[in-house]
Amino acid sequence: METPATQKLEATFSTLVISIASSAVVSLGIEKNPQTNQFEKNLDLAQYSIDLLVMLRDKTRSNLSDSEKNYLDAIIQDLQLKFVQSK
């Protein structure tokens, strides 16, 4: 039986999106940086992560399922709102 520590990680579209979005959330100072266990705000890095998600959306525009498109759009919109609020 596999435990969470030994389970094989699966590379999926949603895990890629969450990985980039998590970086944005940490850079916005919403969550603690897991390496330092501190809240750190870096708006330039947050904007970069959001821009990566926008680029991903633009480059995959006709290749996403409706649920993937809606998921990505919702995350981008949420992060953009949080970015504006954090200024």
DSSP string, 55-81: HHHHHTGGGS-HHHHHHHHHHHHHHHH
Q: Provide the whole-model pTM.
A: 0.87
Nearest to 52 by CA among 31, 27, 32: 27
8: left (phi over 0), alpha (psi -120 to 50) or beta: beta
Give tens-digit pLDDT for 9-46.
Answer: 889 999 999 999 999 999 999 999 999 999 999 999 99
Segments making up each domain of the chain, as ranges: 13-86
Rg (CA), the chain: 15
Beta bridge pairs of residue 33: 38
Report helix angle 66-86 to 43-59, nearest 10.
160
pLDDT band (50, 70, 90) for residue 62: very high
What share of the chain has pLDDT > 70, as a percent? Answer: 93
